[in-house]
Amino acid sequence: MVHASAYKDPHHVMLFFEEITNATNSQQCLTDRVGYYDELKNNGKVVISGNFWNQDKNFVIVSVSNDDELLHIIENDPAIKQNVLELVKAMPF
């Protein structure tokens, strides 16, 4: 059983994203997104990220101190902010 406060402590979360638009400006947004997650990786917040073969889906595994930090990372993702990608699943572990 997981206690209600379990995710207030440091943990990892696997985030799954899916493309929601094929806007012409999405390429710049996705380029900005790569830079965003590279910076987080340099700061020890991203464990791994990648794309699924032949699908408009990708994933990021982040290391966060608490769920507020997780929410901050998601909300500042350039593709989320510009409605190019949506978060379809978050799996803490």
- Asked if pLDDT for residue 6 goes beyond 60, the answer is no
Q: Which of 7, 13, 27 is nearest to 59 (CA)?
A: 13
Confidence of residue 4 (pLDDT cuts 50, 70, 90): low
Confidence of residue 1 (pLDDT cuts 50, 70, 90): very low
The pLDDT score that the predictor gives to residue 81 is 93
The pLDDT score that the predictor gives to residue 20 is 85
Q: What is the pTM of this model?
A: 0.82
**Using CA of residue 10, residue 56, residue 54, residue 32, what is the dihedral sign?**
negative
More confident residue, 72 or 26: 72
Contacting residues for 33 by C-beta, under 8 A, at least 6 apart = 77, 78, 79, 85
